[in-house]
Amino acid sequence: MHEGLPEGTLTLLFTDVEGSTDLTTRLGDEAAQRILRSHRQLVQRQVEQFGGQQIKGTGDGSMVAFTSARRAVECAIAIQRAVRTRNEDYPHEAIPVRIGINSGEVIREEGPDGRGDLFGATVTAAARIAAKASGDEILVAETVKGLLGAVKDLQFADRGRFRLKGFADRWHLYQVLWEREGDVSGPVLLRRTPFVGRQSEREQLRRCLEQAVRGQGSLVLLSGEPGVGKSRLAEQVAVEARDQEVLVLSGHCYEMEMLPYAPFVEILDTATRSMDRAALQVALGEGAGEVARMLPSLRKLFPDAPAPLDLPPEQERHYLFSNVLEFLERGGRERPLLLVIEDLHWADDSTLLLLQHLAQRANGMRVLVIGTYRDIELEGHYPLQRALEVLVSQRLAEQISLDCLAPAAVEAMLRALAGRPLPQQLFQLIMSETEGNPFFIEEVFKYLLEEKKLVDDSGQWRAEVIASELDVPEGVRLVIGRRLQRLSEDCHRLLTGAAVIGYNFTFDLLTSVSEMDTNTVLDCMDEAERAHLIVSGEIDSRFIFSHELIRQTLLADVSAARRQRLHLQIAEVMERAQSSAQQEIATDLSYHLSQAGDSADPRKRSRYLLLAGDRALSAAAFEDALRQYEGALSLQPKDDARMHAELRYKRGLALRSLARWEEALEDWWDALAKYEGLRDLEAVGQVSSDAARQLLWGGRYLEALELALRGLSRLGKVVSPHRCLLLGNAGLTLSVAGYYRAGAGMIREAVRLAEELGDDQLLARALVAKAVHHFSYGQTVEQAEAGRRAIELCKATGDLWDLTNALWVTLATADSLDESAALNEELESLAARLGNQGAFFFSSRAMAHRDLMLTGNISAFEEFAKQDVETCRKIGLVGLSQSYAYGGLAHFWLGR
């Protein structure tokens, strides 16, 4: 083996993995072997780089010889750094390594296996020195230090005298301060604290993950105070999940108003970015148009995706949710999913509705959803409170409530932070100040380190630590405040700007807002990163604050006036930067403008609120839309009648979608009157036809008729799509109410107009109206003819909602029982998918008739008649008289 080694003085380096048996118990033999193997490779690479010779390797350690003491120490540092990086990347399998180095005379001999080996007291002592080190440490004998002389870039801490087994004299050992960097004396912060504690919680989450991988997904909620470690625990699970080929996607809720479904938008965005086009297409299936409601950028990827369906709001939202979940489900067939949804205490209503939907479906999906929230902040008005009640009462979520860390975990954490054990006194002090909140611990530790209160100039722990001298500020925010004060003025100012922008921010936006030159901004960002206040995020050069509490502390320190000015500035920069895609930034912009106070132009504010409202409405986020429209209306100068009319029309739509019919009607009538005053016939047509359609969907026939007739009276003989729709809807309502001639005339006109306009979708709708009209009067030949044409047209235009209506109205006129069965099959699956109760109802009638004819089972028909009355009452459909007639008929046949 090592023939190249000369006789005489050598430097020996021993590595030893701390807790390798522990690793086996924890992760199993196979995993432990794999980890140790990759560890050996890591050591081997460094040894080769520094010209060392591996003498022998044990399972979890190795013995290496060097001809140069300096290279041995440098190699040791390189090993520790590489180990640290690996441990940070795989924290659940982190393995601290201790290293001992000794120099002296060695004896070379052939070992029993014929291979060369090294022996002697120097070798034994090196092994014993390694055993004295604790994880992450490099200890060297005094001789090593002596051989190195005064080397500028290597620093040592005197660790005092140690007894080594088998040696009479005590050995003076030194610690190589390999973590020393920059001007900080003593331990240097790890980029990330190695994960500690939380055994039982991790077990529980691991179980949930295993089940999810097997197809039995669930929702787990992690709650606890800020900084207690919710995000970190979720992240820890994510690391383990990735090892099992699980796709991890995370999304955040924010304190400020954001896009509706913000965390899901983030998740969908990351998901679409992480798939190639073909996989994406498979996952989207036919749902691209719907998913794009939530994630409009998808349209750019798939410009040919069908337009989203025109559905009644209740079904619209349901259908959108189903499509989003189906997308995730299909995506999950390739790889199971872990979704992490952060900070649910800030979630909006629409996000929570989607989450509930997801929780209901998760059991059959390969998905684990982890949601985090601060329980102490729930007393307020957060929508999460209500959602939790539902989730808990329906057993849709498992809950894990996190407490602060136990003393043993705190000790481990501090040891990892410091790179060596902390004196008991110091540990006690930090424990009592922070009560074991890990974020607080980190901040206090950083603070003490920065203030040079932990170690003296030689890197030794201060002998006596007195609480009052340490002067730990009470409360985590005060500690952060002190740490912020240490920053340069530029850096502090820049971070304040960043905090006003939000939890994450881009370099470009921040630079424009800061009015500093790029180099200064870069320097400041470096400074902030070094202080662990911000970290660079994963997506498009974004930065995020290391913790929301840091941002909140920065914000608390800004005067209201300055904050408002900053918000205004941010809005202006955003507006200038992105004038082309206004809708996409409308929500952010209106937020900043609204925070800018009176200095922001109210017209501009209401314009962006309107856009934000439109964005929300098109994503079926009705609550958000309503809030935005209301905000806009409250700002709207009364002299702008057109804008006012538009806002009321749209607020009406939002209100109706939330089943607040009376207020919606008030808005629509007002909008109509305003547009009439402006003589804007197009808008009059739009509002009246749209409102009438909504009212019909809601079963409010009289009000629909009233609005439709008003619209028609204003439109005169104009040839327009709106008039066509109005005629069809008004005609249908009149006809069903018994006004045969008036109804028939209007419907005929609607069909003619649609043909004149050459619009197949309009024609299909007019024909559905015609078919229903004939159905109401038992004119089956005409009913069948109009119905069949409508079916064809609806299929051609992709108008699925009207297709369900065309199907049920044609069903009853089928020429054969087989044909009716075929139509019904099509209808049932479509009606279920879209949630069309009415179509279901009619299909059940048709099928009851069919069964009666085939079986002659009158009792079954009587049973159906009873059900029919119930359903009719429940969904408020006309046709109750028929239900009674069915019942009566059954009784007659049964001779009662």
The single residue among 103, 223, 231, 689 that binds ligand ADP, judged by CB under 6 A, is: 231
Cβ–Cβ under 8 Å, residues 196 and 413:
yes
Please identify, using beta-carbon distances, which residue of 231 and 657 lies nearer to Mg ion. 231
Q: Which region among 31-39, 222-230, 265-273, 704-712 touches ligand ADP (by CB under 6 A)?
A: 222-230
d(CA 708, CA 730): 6
Question: Which alpha helices (DSSP H) does 103-229 contain, by range?
Answer: 121-132, 142-148, 199-213
Residue 731 interacts with, from Mg ion, ligand ADP, none (CB under 5-8 Å by kind):
none
Please identify, using beta-carbon distances, which residue of 346 and 841 lies nearer to Mg ion. 346
d(CA 23, CA 35): 9
Beta-sheet strand order (sheet of 247-252): 247-252, 337-342, 367-373, 218-223, 398-401
Residue 872 interacts with, from ligand ADP, Mg ion, none (CB under 5-8 Å by kind):
none
Does 553 engage in binding with ligand ADP (CB under 6 A)? Answer: no
Does 612 engage in binding with ligand ADP (CB under 6 A)? Answer: no
Please identify, using beta-carbon distances, which residue of 449 and 747 lies nearer to ligand ADP. 449
To ligand ADP, the closest distance from the beta carbon of 703 in angstroms equals 50
892's tokens: 């007659």
Residue 357 interacts with, from ligand ADP, Mg ion, none (CB under 5-8 Å by kind):
none
To Mg ion, the closest distance from the beta carbon of 524 in angstroms equals 25
Residue 195 interacts with, from Mg ion, ligand ADP, none (CB under 5-8 Å by kind):
ligand ADP
To ligand ADP, the closest distance from the beta carbon of 532 in angstroms equals 8
18's tokens: 């701390």
The single residue among 100, 226, 312, 313 that binds ligand ADP, judged by CB under 6 A, is: 226
Please identify, using beta-carbon distances, which residue of 267 and 566 lies nearer to Mg ion. 267
To ligand ADP, the closest distance from the beta carbon of 26 in angstroms equals 15
DSSP structure string for 818-882: HHHHHHHHHHHHHHHHHT-HHHHHHHHHHHHHHHHHHH--HHHHHHHHHHHHHHHHHHT-S-HHH
To ligand ADP, the closest distance from the beta carbon of 231 in angstroms equals 3
21-24 contact pairs (CB < 8 A, 24+): 23/93, 23/95
The single residue among 100, 186, 217, 229 that binds ligand ADP, judged by CB under 6 A, is: 229
Question: Which region holds residue 611: left if phi is over 0, alpha if psi is between -120 and 50, else beta?
Answer: alpha
Cβ–Cβ under 8 Å, residues 442 and 430:
no
Does 230 engage in binding with ligand ADP (CB under 6 A)? Answer: yes
Cβ–Cβ under 8 Å, residues 348 and 868:
no
Q: What is the sign of the dihedral through the CA atoms of 145, 148, 150 and 156?
A: negative
Judged by DSSP in three states, 174 sits in: strand
Helix 262-274 to helix 349-362 angle, to the nearest 10 degrees?
A: 60
DSSP structure string for 697-746: HTT-HHHHHHHHHHHHHHHTT---HHHHHHHHHHHHHHHHTT-HHHHHHH
The single residue among 232, 293, 607, 722 that binds ligand ADP, judged by CB under 6 A, is: 232
To ligand ADP, the closest distance from the beta carbon of 198 in angstroms equals 5
Site for ligand ADP in 396-455 (CB under 6 A): 413, 438-439, 442
Does 228 engage in binding with ligand ADP (CB under 6 A)? Answer: yes
Please identify, using beta-carbon distances, which residue of 224 and 312 lies nearer to ligand ADP. 224
50's tokens: 């520094």
To Mg ion, the closest distance from the beta carbon of 263 in angstroms equals 13
d(CA 371, CA 346): 12
What's the helix, strand, coil split of the chain in %, to 5?
65, 10, 25
CA distances in angstroms from 77 to 73, 173, 185, 373, listed in the order given: 6, 17, 17, 40
Cβ–Cβ under 8 Å, residues 719 and 679:
no
Number of residues that bind ligand ADP (CB under 6 A): 18
Residue 232 interacts with, from Mg ion, ligand ADP, none (CB under 5-8 Å by kind):
ligand ADP
Residue 226 interacts with, from ligand ADP, Mg ion, none (CB under 5-8 Å by kind):
ligand ADP
To ligand ADP, the closest distance from the beta carbon of 197 in angstroms equals 5
Residue 547 interacts with, from ligand ADP, Mg ion, none (CB under 5-8 Å by kind):
ligand ADP
Which of the 8 DSSP states describes residue 6?
Answer: P
d(CA 740, CA 487): 81
To Mg ion, the closest distance from the beta carbon of 294 in angstroms equals 24
To ligand ADP, the closest distance from the beta carbon of 414 in angstroms equals 10
To ligand ADP, the closest distance from the beta carbon of 320 in angstroms equals 30
Which of the 8 DSSP states describes residue 47?
Answer: H
Please identify, using beta-carbon distances, which residue of 199 and 634 lies nearer to ligand ADP. 199
Residue 93 pairs with which residues in a beta bridge? none
Does 135 engage in binding with ligand ADP (CB under 6 A)? Answer: no
CA distances in angstroms from 203 to 20, 27, 198, 200, 206, listed in the order given: 20, 12, 9, 5, 5
Residue 196 interacts with, from Mg ion, ligand ADP, none (CB under 5-8 Å by kind):
ligand ADP
d(CA 668, CA 664): 6
Does 196 engage in binding with ligand ADP (CB under 6 A)? Answer: yes
Please identify, using beta-carbon distances, which residue of 137 and 201 lies nearer to ligand ADP. 201
To Mg ion, the closest distance from the beta carbon of 505 in angstroms equals 18
Residue 198 interacts with, from Mg ion, ligand ADP, none (CB under 5-8 Å by kind):
ligand ADP
Report the candidate in 450, 455, 498, 494 with the shortest Cα–Cα distance to residue 473.
450
To ligand ADP, the closest distance from the beta carbon of 410 in angstroms equals 10
Per CB under 5 A, residues contacting Mg ion are 231
To ligand ADP, the closest distance from the beta carbon of 528 in angstroms equals 15
Please identify, using beta-carbon distances, which residue of 219 and 234 lies nearer to ligand ADP. 234
Residue 40 interacts with, from ligand ADP, Mg ion, none (CB under 5-8 Å by kind):
none
d(CA 29, CA 23): 8
To Mg ion, the closest distance from the beta carbon of 715 in angstroms equals 56
> 597: buried, middle or exposed (CB in 10 Å: 19+, 13-18, 0-12)?
middle
Please identify, using beta-carbon distances, which residue of 224 and 289 lies nearer to ligand ADP. 224
Does 483 engage in binding with ligand ADP (CB under 6 A)? Answer: no
Please identify, using beta-carbon distances, which residue of 368 and 766 lies nearer to ligand ADP. 368
Q: Which region among 178-186, 225-233, 239-247, 817-825 touches ligand ADP (by CB under 6 A)?
A: 225-233
Does 96 engage in binding with ligand ADP (CB under 6 A)? Answer: no
Does 263 engage in binding with ligand ADP (CB under 6 A)? Answer: no
Cβ–Cβ under 8 Å, residues 573 and 509:
yes
Residue 413 interacts with, from Mg ion, ligand ADP, none (CB under 5-8 Å by kind):
ligand ADP
The site for ligand ADP (CB under 6 A) is made up of 193, 195-198, 224, 226-232, 413, 438-439, 442, 547
